[in-house]
Structure 1
Amino acid sequence: MDLKLYTADWCRDCREAKRFLTTHSIPFTEVNIETTPGAAQEVIAHTGKRAIPQFVLNGKWVQPYKPGQGFLYDEMSELLGVTQ
């Protein structure tokens, strides 16, 4: 599995996504949109908005949260094969 996680330090949902992945020992590569040149533009190009966190799982872009609802634990557990 190849998983990238687009984040920013100030993003609460990004911290929760990292915590989820780390807790379940899911390896990922973090791409900070504020410190990685072109990363913010890449998110916009693929999603149409500057919305983080974003997972890129084997090349497929997935938004692991819903605004106002937070991280989607059940959906991400199913997607990543995690048993809660």
Structure 2
Amino acid sequence: MKMDPESEKGFLDSPEVRDMPEGDVIMYCTSWCNDCKKAKIWLEEHHIDFVEIDVNDFPEAGKLVRSWANGNLVTPTFNIQGNIVVDFDVEKLKAVFSIEE
């Protein structure tokens, strides 16, 4: 089987590392994670603006999450202005955002 050399150009020329989005509230997630979906709904219900970064799309994001989660790739993980919350822990999120319910 022979590949079209033109089809390889974009793949080979594309950089491996892309700049990650930035924001005050970042949720590191995966597309298949049910807790990530729940966390997204929770953030939206509380009118909290956030940036969603899929760790599968950004290898550097996965490295960050592992550094915060004892070497494990735990999603969702949040970086809230430097406050790290590993996993969808509603009580910790309420405390960081000063939400009383």
Bin for the TM-score computed over the shorter chain: 0.7 to 0.9
Identify the structure with bigger relative contact order (alpha carbons < 8 Å, sequence gap 6+).
Answer: 1
Bigger fraction of residues in strand: 1
Task: Structure 1: give runs of 5+ residues left out of the alignment.
Answer: 66-71
CA displacement at 1:73 relative to structure 2: 2.9
CA displacement at 1:28 relative to structure 2: 0.7
Give the total of aligned pairs. Answer: 78
Q: Which residue pairs with 1:19 in the alignment?
A: 41
Q: 2:82 aligns with which of 54, 59, 65?
A: 59
Separation in 2 of the partners of 1:29 and 1:39?
A: 12
Q: 1:40 aligns with which of 52, 57, 62?
A: 62
Task: Report percent identity of matched pairs.
Answer: 26
The alignment's C-alpha RMSD in Å is 1.8
TM-score after normalising by structure 2: 0.66
Task: Structure 2: give runs of 5+ residues left out of the alignment.
Answer: 1-22
Structure having the higher Rg? 2
C-alpha distance after superposition, 1:5-25 (max 9, x if no partner): 000000000111110001111
Bigger fraction of residues in helix: 2
Q: Which residue pairs with 1:6 in the alignment?
A: 28
Separation in 2 of the partners of 1:36 and 1:50?
A: 13
| SS of residue in 1 equivalent to 2:75 | coil
Separation in 1 of the partners of 2:55 and 2:41?
A: 18
| SS of residue in 1 equivalent to 2:59 | coil
TM-score after normalising by structure 1: 0.78
CA displacement at 1:64 relative to structure 2: 4.1
